[in-house]
Structure 1
Amino acid sequence: MSRPAGTALGLAALILAAACAPGSGGDSSKPTPRPAGTDVAKAGNVTLTVWDQEVQGGQRKQIEKLNAAFQARYPNVKVKRVSRSFTDLQKTLRLALSGNEPPDVVQANQGHAAMAQFVKGGMLLPLGPYDKAYGWTKRYPKGLLDLNSVTSGGRAIGSGDLYGVSLNGEVVGVYYNKDKLARLGLRPPKTWADLEAGLAAAKGRGEQPLAFGNLEKLPAMQLYGLIQDQTAGKDAVRSLVFGRGGAWTDAPHVQAARTLADWSRKGYFNKDANAVKWDDTPVNFAKGQGVFMVGGNWWAADLRDRLGDKVGFFAPPVTMGGESLPFSITAKSKHPDVAAAYIAFITSPAAMDASVETGNLPALSPPSRRPDGALMTDVASAWTALSRADGITPYLDYATPNFADAFGGPLQELIAGRTTPEEAMKEAQRDYAGFLKK
C-alpha cells in the first residue's frame, strides 16, 4: 500500500498551514485550563516524549514520516518516540501516567477501561483551549469527536470534553470473494438485504457462507454489532454504549442476538468458529474458506496482497468503527503547548495525505492523495460515505471495563447453541447495569 512520498521537509511545508501551536486544561480530575500558546519556536529546545502503538508496517512508516516532518518544521524540538504494541501499551500506560515524569503525548485507548479512567485520575489534559487554536471540532464529524470525549470525572464517555485526536479511521464491514460470487451467479452486495440473500444462496449451493474465528470472543461482538446496527439503528446503539439510555434486553438488541443465533443454526459459520483465532480468519478466507468475511479495514492490505483484485469490501449505511487510538496530552507534561502543536501537525490535512501514502485509512478525506487499488478504494469510499452520513457506531466493548468478557462469553455460548438470545442479552445487561450503578 505504500507509495513514493516527498521528503520530510516537503511534507513539513505542506503541513505548515495546519500546524502552529496552543496550553492546558478544569475540577480535581480536570487540570485547570490556561490560554493556549501558539509559538513553538519560543519554547526553546524541547525534547517531546511520545508513546505510541504504531508498530505495524504502514502505521510505523506513517508516524516516522510525520515525526521527521515535525522536527524539520520545528528544529528546536526533538521527538523522543517510545513505540509499544497495543497490548504492551495498555499494560504500562497507567503506571507511566501516574509517575512524576510521564510522557508528553500518549495514545490513550477510547472507552471506560482506559481513557475514562485516565480522565478520572486527572492524568490527561482536556483539549478545549487547543481546539480554539487548531479547530479540530470544525474538521472532524461529531460522531468521531464523541469517541474521544469524556465527561467530568470520567463518569461517561461519548460526550463532555475532548481528550484526544485520532489520525486514522476504522470501519468494520464485509469482505467478499469476487470469484466465488461470480461462480454462484451473485453480484457483490450493495445493501444489507443483498448480504443476507448472498449468505443464504451460498449455503444453499454448498459453499461456506462466512469465514469466522471467535476464539478471543471479541469477533462475535463485532459481528453482533454489525447486525445490531441494522436492527436498532445508530442512535439506540450509541445511547446504549455511552450510557445515555436503553438496555441490552430491549427488543431491537435481542433481535440482533436472534439473528446471530439463526446464522449459526443455519450453518453460515465454519463449525470450529469458536476455536479459530481471530488473526487466522483472513488467512483462511484468503485460502478459500467462505464467500464472505466480516472484519475491519486493518485487514485490507493483507487480503489485497493475498487475493489481489479478487477481493472486495462492502459496508452498510450504519456500521461499527471509529478511529485509531487518539493522541492525548498528559496532565503533567512540561511542554503542553508543544504537545498540542505536535498533535495538530500529525492530524492536519497533509497528514491525511501521508496516511494514504503509507497504506492507511485517514480519519478525514485527504486533500490530494488517493488510495491505490480497487480494494483500498472500496474501503476509503465506504469510510467517506459513513463519515459524511454520520453512520459510524462505537465498538461495544467501550460500554464497561469488563464487557469484552461479560458479553463476549455469552455470545460465544450463543454461537455454540448452548444459550438463548434472551439469556445472552440478560448477561450483557447484568454487567452493564452493575457498572452504571457505580
Structure 2
Amino acid sequence: MSRNVFRTGTVIAAVSCLGLAACAPGSSGGSSASKSNASAPAQTDPAKLGKVTLTVWDQEVRGGQAKQITQLNAAFQKKYPNITIKRVPRSFDDLGKTIKLALSGDNPPDVAEVNNGRGDMGAFVKAGQLLDLGKYAKAYGWDERYPQSVRQYSSYSPDGKTFGTGNLYGLPQVGEVVDLYVNTEHLQQAGLAMPTTWEQLVAAMKTLKAKRPGEAPMVLGDLDKWPAIHVFGPTQAQFVAPDDIRKLAFGQKGANWKTPGNQQAAQTLVDWMKAGYLDAKTIGTGYDNANKAFSQGKGTFLMAGTWLAADPMPALGSKVRFILPPPSKAAGGKEVSTGGTGIPWAISSKTKHPDAAAAYINFITSPEAMKVLASTGNVPVANTSEQTAATPLDKDVLTAFGKVVEANGLVPYLDYATPTMADTLGAALQDLLAGRKTPAQFLDTLQQDYSGFVAKNG
C-alpha cells in the first residue's frame, strides 16, 4: 500500500487521491532522447534552449498542492517565456493508471510525477522509461541540496531491482514524517513535562494511565490495518540502527527481521497493550475516528504524520504540539523516525527536451520554490526548518522534518520492502496487538514475506 494513497488532505499535503479531469496525453517531442543528448553536458540556462513546449503530468490537484504548482508554473513561464508548460493535472489514482501506458508509448509526457514504489518507478527504471538524472544532479547541485536520506526515495539500480541506492530518477517537492502529537494540557494537569527521552515517554504514559482512568494515553485506530505501521516504525527506530531499517524497508539483500532489536520493538507494542497505554478497542477503531477523538481531547499522545496537522489538529488550538519521537538510550540519543517524500518528479527517457525538463524540475524544487510551498501549506522537502509558519503547530512540523532530515534520521516506511509487505505487516501487527501472535511469530511472518521477495528479486 502506497502511503500516497492513504495519506491525504494535509497542510502539509504530500500527496492526494482526489482529482480533476485530465487533459489529453502527449509530449511536444515524442521521440526518444538521443544518445548524444544523454552524454552531452547539461545546458542549465533555459533561456538558451529556444522555443520549447513541455508536457507535464501531475497530481497537484488539491488545496495547497494546486496553489503551489499553479504559482510556480506561472513564475517559470514568466522567467522563461521561450518555454511553454502544457500542464495535465490528474488525480493520484488516474495518474497511476495512465502513466504506465503513457511512458511505454510513443508520445509520453516530458515530465511526470511518478510514484516511487517498486511497482511504478522501479518498473519504469527497469524498462528504461525514465531518465537517469545524475548529470543534472551534479549540474544543479541537487546532490548537495537534497541529502541522501531524501534522495534514497527516488534512487534505484539501473535494472530496477535495488531500491534506495543507485541512480537518481526523480526529485520530490514535499516531505512527511511520523512524529508525536502531544496534548500539552493533559501533561500539565498530570504534573508532567514534555518527554525528551523514550524512557520519559513510557513513564509519562504510566502516570497518565493512573491519573486519567478509563483513557488510553496513546491514541491509535487500526481498523484500516496500516495505521499501526506508523506506531511500530518509530518504535522500531528506538532499538534498530537506522541503516538496518533502511535495508529492511528497501528490500535489500542481507537484512533480517528476526533480530533482537525488532523483537524488542514488537514486545514494546505488546507491553503497551497489556498496560493499557493503547486502547483495547484499537483494532476495531477507524483511523479517522481515532484522530477525531484525539482532536476532541481524548488521549495525550498520537503517533502519526505531518499530514494530520491541518485536519483535525487545529481543533485543539495551542494545546497540541508536534515533536520528534524522543530518542531512547538504545538509540544513542539520536532522533530517528519513519518518513518519506511526496511523489517525485521524473523525466521520460523519450523526451526531446531533457535540458528543459530538468530546468523545470530544478525551478519547482529550488530554495525559492520551497518558500512558495511553505506559504501554500505544504512541507518543503528541502530548507524546511528555514521556512516561515503560520501557527506554532505548523512551525513544529517544519522544524521536526527539517531536523530529522539534516541529522540523517529519516528512515523509510516499512511497507516499501516488498510488493506485498503492506498487507503482510498490517495483518501481522493486528495479530500482534490482539495477542494472536507472539513477537517471534510476528517476525517469522515478516521474514517469510521478505525472504521470498529477495530470493525472487535476484
Residue 156 of structure 1 deviates from its aligned partner by 0.3
Question: Counterpart in 1 of 2:22?
Answer: none
Question: Counterpart in 2 of 1:426?
Answer: 444
Work out whether residues 113 and 398 of structure 1, in 8 Å CA contact, stay in contact via their aligned partners in 2.
Answer: no
Segment drifting more, 381-390 vs 339-348: 381-390
Say whether residues 1:144 and 2:150 are aligned partners.
yes
TM-score (normalised: structure 1): 0.89
Distance 2:124 2:372 in 1: 30
Letter of the structure 2 residue corresponding to residue 421 of structure 1? P
Match of 1:115 among 118, 121, 133: 121
Question: Counterpart in 1 of 2:415?
Answer: 397
Segment drifting more, 302-311 vs 67-76: 302-311
After superposition, the Cα gap between the structure-2 partners of 1:417 and 1:372, relative to the gap in structure 1 and judged at 3 Å, is same
Structure 2 unaligned segments of length 5 or more: list them. 1-9, 12-31, 326-334
Question: Counterpart in 2 of 1:170?
Answer: 176
Distance 1:178 1:354 in 2: 31
Question: Counterpart in 1 of 2:329?
Answer: none
Tell me the percent identity: 46
Say whether residues 1:270 and 2:297 are aligned partners.
no
Q: Deviations over 1:317-373 (max 9, x none)?
A: 011112211111112223222111110000101011111111221112269641122
Distance 1:24 1:194 in 2: 57
Residue 264 of structure 1 deviates from its aligned partner by 2.0
Distance 1:389 1:78 in 2: 39
Letter of the structure 1 residue corresponding to residue 57 of structure 2? W
Q: How does 1:350-429 map to 2 (within 5 A)?
A: 350-365=368-383, 369-429=387-447
Letter of the structure 1 residue corresponding to residue 189 of structure 2? R
SS in 2 for 1:302: coil
Question: Counterpart in 2 of 1:311?
Answer: 320
Segment drifting more, 31-40 vs 115-124: 31-40
Match of 1:234 among 233, 242, 248: 242
Say whether residues 1:62 and 2:48 are aligned partners.
no
Match of 2:220 among 205, 212, 216: 212
Letter of the structure 1 residue corresponding to residue 100 of structure 2? R
Question: Counterpart in 2 of 1:99?
Answer: 105
Say whether residues 1:248 and 2:239 are aligned partners.
no
Distance 1:412 1:352 in 2: 38
SS in 2 for 1:325: coil
Q: Deviations over 1:28-69 (max 9, x none)?
A: xxx954432334334443332222222332222111211111
Distance 2:43 2:296 in 1: 54
Distance 2:228 2:380 in 1: 26
Work out whether residues 253 and 454 of structure 2, in 8 Å CA contact, stay in contact via their aligned partners in 1.
Answer: no
Residue 256 of structure 1 deviates from its aligned partner by 0.9
SS in 1 for 2:322: strand
SS in 2 for 1:294: strand
SS in 1 for 2:256: coil
Distance 1:56 1:198 in 2: 38
Work out whether residues 384 and 401 of structure 2, in 8 Å CA contact, stay in contact via their aligned partners in 1.
Answer: no
After superposition, the Cα gap between the structure-2 partners of 1:364 and 1:432, relative to the gap in structure 1 and judged at 3 Å, is same
Distance 2:75 2:385 in 1: 18
Work out whether residues 25 and 34 of structure 1, in 8 Å CA contact, stay in contact via their aligned partners in 2.
Answer: no
Distance 2:83 2:288 in 1: 39
Number of aligned residue pairs: 414
Residue 120 of structure 1 deviates from its aligned partner by 0.9
Residue 231 of structure 1 deviates from its aligned partner by 0.7
After superposition, the Cα gap between the structure-2 partners of 1:148 and 1:420, relative to the gap in structure 1 and judged at 3 Å, is same
Question: Counterpart in 2 of 1:287?
Answer: 296
After superposition, the Cα gap between the structure-2 partners of 1:25 and 1:164, relative to the gap in structure 1 and judged at 3 Å, is farther
Structure 1 unaligned segments of length 5 or more: list them. 3-22
Work out whether residues 113 and 344 of structure 2, in 8 Å CA contact, stay in contact via their aligned partners in 1.
Answer: yes
Match of 1:133 among 132, 139, 142: 139
Letter of the structure 2 residue corresponding to residue 141 of structure 1? P
Residue 250 of structure 1 deviates from its aligned partner by 1.5
Match of 2:96 among 90, 97, 100: 90
Say whether residues 1:332 and 2:350 are aligned partners.
yes
Letter of the structure 2 residue corresponding to residue 158 of structure 1? G
Question: Counterpart in 2 of 1:40?
Answer: 46
Segment drifting more, 363-372 vs 397-406: 363-372
TM-score (normalised: structure 2): 0.85
CA RMSD of aligned residues (A): 2.2
SS in 2 for 1:219: coil
Segment drifting more, 359-368 vs 134-143: 359-368
Distance 1:370 1:25 in 2: 43
SS in 2 for 1:404: helix
Match of 2:185 among 156, 179, 187: 179
